[in-house]
Amino acid sequence: MGLRVVIPARYASTRLPGKPLADIAGQPMIVRVAAAARRAKTDGVWVATDDERIAAAVRQHGFDAVMTRADHASGTDRIAEVAEQLAWDDEDIVVNVQGDEPLLDPALIEAVAAALHGDPDAVMATAAHPLDAAADLFNPNVVKVVCDLRGRALYFSRAPIPWDRDRFAKTRDQLPADLPARRHIGLYAYRVSFLRRFGQLAPSPLERCESLEQLRALWHGYPIQVVSVDHPPAPGVDTPEDLERVRRLFDAGKDSE
């Protein structure tokens, strides 16, 4: 069984065009992300893209790039094409790393992969961390997840879950100390066999209304293992302001790469 990391990267971005090639302390952001991923214990890191400019930048800095079709609806579909092109085995595990997270902790890659490896019946794994701020629980831009006794996801939602009926009837200014509220971290590990099936699954009504692709797997009865981590990951780059903040961190020597 192999462990691979694939980083989907598109040139287009509504809020930050050309984001993968944005300079961060002398290197394109996508290269910074690949460098962070390479510090994890894996069998390799690949960038999956449909843009020759991104592929050229990645290869120039010593990383592998795979050219994929331009019509993929999601990063998951793009990763599935990479697995087919490179003829990976069904039992191989692939971790999907977002291309806008240059501050990614490599240990998170290893934790998500280990969670999937440790649950033979799960087809996917992801991560979450405890929520301690009421504002985050009630923020629809913060995705929440609730799990069962085995650590498998019961549901992902933008709504505040779980809902403490009695205490929230009195106040919503702070979270009860024992509320098992967790924020989902958008890092995924897949078995290659499931990647090959995922694109053939019909989108679910839940997926459409929540705009959460992982609900497709739950809708069709596929288990998702969720590993808990103590702290939230470093924020990614979605806006020009985010990019400037990350640039300042690198310029100040916050990252060794």
**Alpha-carbon distances of 90 from 36, 47, 93, 190, 196, rounded to whole Å:** 26, 20, 8, 10, 9
pLDDT tens by residue, 75-89: 898 999 999 999 999
The whole-number pLDDT of residue 235 equals 87
Quote the CA–CA distance of 119 and 142 in Å, as a whole number. 26
- Spell out the per-residue pLDDT of the chain, length 257, in tens: 799 999 999 887 777 889 999 999 999 999 999 999 999 999 999 999 999 999 999 999 999 999 999 988 888 989 999 999 999 999 999 999 999 999 999 999 999 999 999 999 999 999 999 999 999 999 999 999 999 999 999 999 999 999 999 999 999 999 999 999 999 999 999 999 999 999 899 999 999 999 999 999 999 999 999 999 998 999 899 899 999 999 999 998 754 44
The whole-number pLDDT of residue 253 equals 79
**H/E element, 93:** strand 93-96
pTM: 0.92
Quote the CA–CA distance of 30 and 19 in Å, as a whole number. 8
Three-class SS state of 28: strand
Tell me, yes or no, if the two domains 1-104 and 108-185+200-233 fold the same way: yes
The whole-number pLDDT of residue 74 equals 85
DSSP annotation of 2: -
- Identify which of 94, 227, 206 has the alpha carbon closest to the alpha carbon of residue 159: 206
The whole-number pLDDT of residue 161 equals 98
- In the CATH hierarchy, which top-level class contains the domain 1-104? alpha beta
Residue 105's CB: how many other CB atoms inside 10 A?
17
The whole-number pLDDT of residue 256 equals 44
Quote the CA–CA distance of 169 and 81 in Å, as a whole number. 48
CATH code: domain 108-185+200-233 is: 3.90.550.10
**Alpha-carbon distances of 125 from 21, 90, 94, 204, rounded to whole Å:** 29, 16, 10, 19
pLDDT tens by residue, 162-217: 999 999 999 999 999 999 999 999 999 999 999 999 989 999 999 999 999 999 99
3-state per-residue secondary structure call for 61-85: CCCEEEECCCCCCCHHHHHHHHHHH
Rounded-to-10 torsion of CA 219, 220, 223, 227: -40
**144 in Cβ contact with 184 (< 8 Å):** yes
- Identify which of 221, 203, 220 has the alpha carbon closest to the alpha carbon of residue 212: 203
* Domains of the chain by residue range: 1-104, 108-185+200-233
The whole-number pLDDT of residue 134 equals 96
